Amino acid sequence: MQSKLSVSVVIITRNRADLLQDALESLVRQRRPPDEVVVVDNASHDHTRDVVAGFKGMLNVTYVYEPIRGIPRARNAGVNASTGDIIAFIDDDCVADEDWLKYMEIPFIRDPYVGIVGGEVSSFRIGSGIVEEFYIKNMNSGRKSKD
């Protein structure tokens, strides 16, 4: 059993530099820090590049510009730029819990046959969106809704 794997975090963003700032700050606060962070700028027209540059020295961060818009293209650019044993994705409008990477890494360390893991999604605001509605309807308490 391995004791530690390298973890790359990929963030895809487009014109949401202020939200990206919060996401990157949450990665700085990780108790298990990422080995690298790859930010894929999917054709932004704001100050995304400057936000990423502001984290040099705090994170091992790489800026990748993907001019062709679209999440699949941007995700592939992020994967191609990553070097970690594990690639963890987080959205630019998310703030990771301080133990996010620590707990994401554990299943991979325990079982070399694990290929993918996911975590709980929580919202800061009640009634804030479709992900929360899905979670409440389908995932709450481990029971599926009959609707």
pLDDT tens digits for range 78-99: 999 999 999 999 999 999 999 9
Q: Is residue 1 part of a domain?
A: no
14 CB neighbour count, 10 Å cutoff:
20
Q: Is residue 76 part of a domain?
A: yes
Alpha-carbon distance of 85 to 64, in angstroms, equals 19
Same domain membership, residue 101 and residue 81:
yes
Same domain membership, residue 121 and residue 78:
no
Q: Is residue 2 part of a domain?
A: no
Alpha-carbon distance of 85 to 108, in angstroms, equals 9
Number of domains in the chain: 2
Same domain membership, residue 146 and residue 78:
no
Q: Is residue 14 part of a domain?
A: yes
Please give the residue range of the domain that contains residue 136. Answer: 117-147
Same domain membership, residue 30 and residue 67:
yes
Average pLDDT in the chain = 88
Same domain membership, residue 94 and residue 35:
yes
Q: What is the pTM of this model?
A: 0.82
